[in-house]
């Protein structure tokens, strides 16, 4: 049996999400969260699913309560996969959801630290290694984690990451008047106005360099939403959440955001960075 030694940063992240798992309800994310999910699914449809083989295998690493495992498993009934997460409470919710919807025979569940995934799952490979929910933002040094997850990626597989944008964090800090924290955000080590225990924030250039160090080629790097940000510091009833409550406005904003989604040059403005990578072509000697 593998003995797992949890460091302080992992313990902080685990405790945060264990507390969040108690009474967890995805509906709290509101209209803005719905917009982000719609754009993320569109990005997957445009750039990922069409490149996967029939009956593909997936690893939802840092999958939480199973929002994306559920969507993939139900939309692709021939797929099989695993949800892997640090929080036992979140994994329990994901497992219960799979049982309720009848795909628990196709999806396995693992409660463990992302740093141990390559060892715990040694010998297994997946067509899609998918880390959402800003997973890599919660580790202090994402480079070794990306390298270890690459060991689990099938030869023609895709690694998909959803990452917190360093520039957006600094924008939000400054908008909230947290001027003393902006520098920390720009350094990539702090997101003062977000209660989650972030340890690393990303820029597009850093993402490309980090993936290249693991012999991964970045096939797509974009970001979203680019036109609207959550107004977490505004008074109730104001800002983007209020605007998006109108379904016609929501659909119009979604349409505009989708247009920007296919333009990689707009990615740097996105609140979240979306990355699709694959094994780099071996050099011919």
Listed by start position, the domains of the chain span 8-29+39-165+202-229+258-279
CA trace torsion 39, 43, 49, 52 (10° rounding): -140
**Angle, CA 139 vertex, CA 214 and CA 216 arms, to 5°:** 15
Per-residue pLDDT for 50 more than 50?
yes
| pLDDT at res. 171 | 85
Band of residue 21 on the pLDDT scale cut at 50, 70, 90 = low
* Residue 4 neighbours by CB under 8 Å, 6+ apart: 112, 113, 116
Band of residue 18 on the pLDDT scale cut at 50, 70, 90 = confident
CATH architecture group of domain 8-29+39-165+202-229+258-279: 3-Layer(aba) Sandwich (3.40)
Beta-bridge mates of residue 85: 111
Lowest-pLDDT range of 100-109, 158-167, 191-200, 244-253: 191-200
* Beta-sheet strands, E only, within the chain: 57-61, 80-85, 107-111, 126-131, 153-164, 216-224, 272-279
At 143-196, the pLDDT tens digits run: 999 999 999 999 999 999 999 999 888 888 888 788 878 888 888 877 777 777
Q: Which residue has the tokens 């924008």?
A: 171
Q: Is the separation of the CB atoms in 139 and 116 below 8 Å?
A: no
Task: State the Cα–Cα distance between residues 69 and 47, nearest whole angstrom.
Answer: 18
**Residue 189: how many CB atoms within 10 A of its CB?**
14
Average pLDDT over residues 57-66: 95
Tell which wins on pLDDT, 181 or 233. Answer: 181
Q: Mean pLDDT score of the chain, rounded to an integer?
A: 87
Per-residue pLDDT for 62 more than 70?
yes
């Amino acid at each position: 049996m593998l003995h797992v030694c949890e460091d302080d940063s992992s313990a902080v992240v685990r405790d945060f999400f264990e507390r969040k798992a108690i009474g967890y309800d995805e509906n709290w994310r509101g209209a803005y969260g719905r917009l982000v999910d719609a754009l993320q699914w569109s990005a997957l449809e445009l750039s990922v699913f069409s490149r996967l083989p029939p009956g593909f295998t997936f690893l939802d690493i840092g999958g939480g309560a199973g929002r994306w495992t559920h969507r993939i498993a139900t939309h692709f009934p021939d797929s099989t996969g695993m949800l892997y997460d640090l929080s036992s409470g979140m994994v329990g919710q994901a497992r219960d959801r799979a049982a309720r919807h009848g795909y628990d025979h196709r999806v396995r569940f693992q409660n463990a630290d992302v740093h141990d995934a390559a060892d715990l799952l040694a010998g297994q490979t997946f067509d899609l290694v998918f880390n959402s929910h800003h997973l890599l933002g919660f580790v202090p040094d994402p480079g070794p984690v990306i390298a270890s997850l690459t060991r689990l990626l099938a030869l023609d597989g895709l690694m998909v990451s959803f990452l917190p944008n360093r520039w957006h964090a600094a924008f939000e800090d400054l908008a909230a008047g947290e001027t003393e924290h902006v520098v920390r955000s720009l350094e990539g080590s702090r997101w003062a106005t977000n209660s989650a225990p972030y340890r690393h924030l990303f820029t597009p250039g850093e993402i490309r360099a980090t993936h290249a160090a693991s012999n991964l080629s970045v096939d797509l790097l974009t970001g979203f939403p680019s036109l609207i940000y959550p107004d977490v510091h505004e008074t109730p009833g104001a800002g983007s959440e209020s605007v998006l409550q109108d379904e016609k406005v929501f659909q119009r904003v979604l349409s505009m955001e989708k247009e920007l989604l296919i333009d990689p040059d707009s990615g740097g403005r996105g609140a979240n960075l979306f990355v699709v990578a694959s094994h780099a072509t071996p050099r011919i000697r």
